[in-house]
Structure 1
Amino acid sequence: MTALDAVMRRQSHSKVTADAPSRLQLLPLVEAAATVADHSGLKPWRLIELRGDARLRLGAAFSEALGAHGKDAEKMASKPLRASLLIAVVFVHKPSFKVPAWEQEAVASGVAHMLSLLLDEAGWGVFWRSGNFTRSEPVHRMHELAPNEQLLGWLYVGGLPDKTKSDKRKRLEIGRYLSELS
């Protein structure tokens, strides 16, 4: 399979099974994802594996961020339990006169996207979740982020369910998105 085939086949899987890659299976994929273009080689990112009780603590942080109580708190607390492995994607701003913060954040996003492609190609179901909680103080604290770090979201990773969407993605009218200057 070519890289083009893998990219065109990729789809998000919002429902996954309890299976998940081990840390040893994850390491070569992270190493490959780290090859994205990175001006000055700053490596302005890091990833955090959340398994087991770490997902429960994240759910509690979601509830705290929402100020939820009762059933709402339970609902929020269950969200990180949708996959056995969550990979937090963290943008780490590095001081640089050459590389602005937005470019460094783009590198971190590139690593996350590349990792999602590699996980998909390896046969895992992946879904990138983000939202307002990524910038909330309880979630920031739960991930033990430094002042120069921002959470970009989580890759929810698990096994593919027996029935996966076989519908092909609607093709883009690419001419609307690719222009040419002469």
Structure 2
Amino acid sequence: MDDLSAETSSFKTQPQGGKLALKKGMNKKPSKSLKPIKSRKPIKSRKPCKPCKCCKSWKRCKPCKPCPPLLGDTQGFNVSNQTKGITFTLTSVSGPAGNPPIGSILAPGGLFNFEVKTEAFETTRALVVYTGVANGAAFQLSFQLVNFGGVANEIESVRTTGPISTDVSTFPAGETPALIITDK
């Protein structure tokens, strides 16, 4: 036998008979600070906030802006994408308008409805800006939705830098005006 094996054989431990040995200072009973799970107070969870009325998002506790006003106090405007392959993304809306959320996509053949708030004896305007991509180049389409105190409404100041044509449909009084976007 060599010296290394002789030293290790002298330090063998005796088996404990299958029972765990307690170290010094350990009690057999659990401490009073550890309560059973059932007696612990439940963690109060926050009630979920209500979803945004216009976009149904649960991510915010405050509604996103702008949310649509009541339907009785607005005039409607439609935007129709009649192009074959150009998709538009709603970039911004400024003014008292209820609308799809910023970032909404108007696909070919799609239709969006905007509602502009009615103020008695006042003209209200909302500027709408879309971004489109055609032939790998981005372009903008902007227009104003005008509500003449609930008596009449128009779509005006239509501007674009892209390869599209726009047509503002004129309806009889009381009908919803529409901006129709087509390919050039």
Fold match, TM over 0.5?
no
| Bigger-Rg structure (1/2) | 2
Tell me: higher relative CO, structure 1 or 2? Use CA pairs within 8 A at least 6 residues apart.
1
Higher strand share: 2
Q: Could you state the TM-score of these two structures normalised by the residue count of structure 1? A: 0.30
Higher helix share: 1
Q: Could you state the TM-score of these two structures normalised by the residue count of structure 2? A: 0.29
